[in-house]
Amino acid sequence: MTGYRTGSKWNDLNELQCLLILKKLEAVNFTRNLQARLCRALSKTSGLSEGTLKAKVGNYKSLAGVTGDSNASTNTKALYQRYKHFSVSKLSEAIASGKAL
Residues whose CB falls within 8 Å of the CB of residue 30, separated by 6 or more in sequence, listed in order: 66
Interval 33-83: pLDDT, tens: 999 999 999 999 999 999 999 999 999 999 999 999 888 999 999 999 999
Residue 27 has pLDDT above 60, yes or no: yes
CB atoms within 10 A of CB 83: 18
d(CA 6, CA 51): 20
**Helix ranges (DSSP H) in 1-101:** 12-27, 34-46, 50-63, 74-83, 88-97
